[in-house]
Chains A and B, each alone.
Chain A
């Protein structure tokens, strides 16, 4: 800093002083160092910018490559029959309607369970719980839950929901397992959304004679809703595409009927891909069906995301 100022002042002096030769070379060197320092900073700045932009482009490119690869291999499988009929001829012909219905049932079931439980937990943790040992243990538990591998969730679901609670391999057991998996994400993002609601809103509400619950219900929750929905979207999207948790708890290779009760077993899109690609009766011949199923799965997840994003932006516009 000092040297910079010094060099500036000597720069000005430099114009007036004409006869201080040794000092001039010193100043000249100083100017060169300062100048090249600036030059280096500018280059670094530009390089970093391009690095970040490159990273973002790679992201987009990766998505594009995946979608393109699947589309080119599986688009020919997408027909009206494919989407609306049951499979025939050992899965080599017909459609994947039961898989679509199965995945939808599991996703909706998981949302119906995880969302209220997750949001309620987050409200308790962020608005009611007193700081202390118990709170820290609960938080530790939630954070660790987020790191449990999905196949372990599957085993847990099998042992607890399917066997011990005697739900059998069913939509119910699968939804419960997927819900357990989505809980940490929903709790985390709901808590963050609640925390981002300004404290002044709560103060104003309490100052008007509202109770704590009224304040949460009428001011805090509506204000945090867009953030909560984002978390819900993320959690459920992840759950919709998971294979391991549903392998043991809800999904089967083949069922001749569409599900009629939550205790039915079902076919599901991710499991169907897995089965066709590894244990199907004619893996190569059904390759396009596998890709077609993958496209349907991605389309399903995208539409769930899109619907929630549209609803969220409507909410945001209403609030501002």
Chain B
């Protein structure tokens, strides 16, 4: 049995919103080609933690990070790192689908265009591949040049996934990707995640524990900005080591 490689990791990560300490000393390994789920009650810091992985928190002016986050053994918070290049290797899908007010084609092509790819045939074929990989191609292949805003919520979210995939990232961060969607669309997204992990490393934040159980290989339980327990998903849900974890997954608090 191959020892799974560590793709990303956080080490002693602290995060401050101004003077409020939102994350306390988090050390967590993320394994390559696996789905890691971050679960925990609202406000426990899991989204904040996720956003540290592609430095989206840099956009918040009063935020501060102490500790490190590693991508392939390189600290992404070192001053030498180019954040723009970093975000091409680590893609993100947000909670509420947010396609640009452009055509479906232009949405998926956007990432390539800003990265300097000009060759029309390359762009076309990558758009098609990305849409196929996010199980959206069949539904939109006849209306690629229509506005993306005309799609349903579930389709828009799959479009956002295609848009993130088109940049050919190594890691995919998903912040509650199905929470704004109906059950059928949610199921499609979950199937997609199962397929995608063969090519990508995925970290998913979810407040839906059953979803975490269905979709992930490793689950990490957060509470009040601290990492309480992390283990193989099956182990965490059937034989949690800590009482607090058991209380959460059995619904005694949430």
Contact = CB atoms under 8 A, between A and B. Distances in A.
Interface stretch (A114-122, A147-155, A184-192, A206-214): A206-214
A16 interface: no
Interface of A: 130, 198, 200-201, 203-211, 214, 218-219, 222-223, 318-320
Contact of B100 (A130, A204, A206, A211): A204
Interface string B120-162: 0000000000000000000000000001010000000000100
B114 interface: yes
15 contacts: A130-B61, A201-B100, A203-B56, A203-B59, A204-B98, A204-B160, A205-B110, A207-B56, A209-B84, A209-B167, A210-B84, A210-B110, A223-B100, A223-B101, A318-B147
Contacts of B110: 205, 208, 210, 218
A201 B88 contact: no
A207 B87 contact: yes
A209 B98 contact: no
Nearest to B111: A208
B114 A218 contact: yes
B96 interface: yes
A266 to B, nearest CB: 42
Given A200-B96, A319-B147, A211 B59 contact: no
B149 A203 contact: no
- Give the residue among B84, B91, B115, B167 with the most A Cβ atoms within 10 A: B84
Contacts of A203: 56, 59, 94, 98
Given A206-B59, A207-B56, A320-B147, A201 B98 contact: yes
Contacts of B87: 206-209
B163 interface: yes
Contacts of A320: 101, 147, 149
Contacts of A211: 84, 114
